[in-house]
Structure 1
């Protein structure tokens, strides 16, 4: 990289600035990436693929689809009428999506039962 910087200084000051910025950005990205493999992001799917039981994220809330219906009126465009249940508080919401509208589907959620075993001597007070 030093050869590139030396060459850039001979060519033009603005080009050397760009190369220096690229070098610093590369070192920042390689040392601590702005993304993480542990982030749980869903897959963007079209609303036409939503089915009851799927889990989606909309406006920062997590919803489970209770009912999904494809509607089309006369010459108008089609709509997906979806009834959702908020996973956190159980409230029901009814939303309409265009069939090609992207929706973030959360596929990493699993419903598992856990059994925790621990010794009473490990408890801290």
Structure 2
């Protein structure tokens, strides 16, 4: 992602392991990154989908297991509703695997009530110094 034109990674959260939500399959490794970019949201989405494809992602059905999934959660102060992109991400406040890492980068944005509402979702913060955790 840091190789995208006019884009740089400002922050990266810790890594977390979680079970799939509304799906079956192996656990996922999750993180949130904060970017600065001159790309518009649709250009960023297209670039991220290209990365997913390069990682072997297939989309046989909704919520299918995947090798890589990059979501745009927020895009500055933008509010976008289109057939291909909704920002803010419509389900982000309902998912521990988004809220926990996001709270590291934007602690004032994620409320205690948000975290309380997802406490039943199993999520484990990984030790980045242990390569077998990642």
Superposition TM-score tier, normalisation by shorter sequence = under 0.3
Using the size of structure 1 for normalisation, the TM-score is 0.22
> More strand per residue: 1 or 2?
1
TM-score of the pair, normalised by structure 2:
0.21
User: Relative contact order, CA 8 A, sep 6+: which one is greater?
Assistant: 2
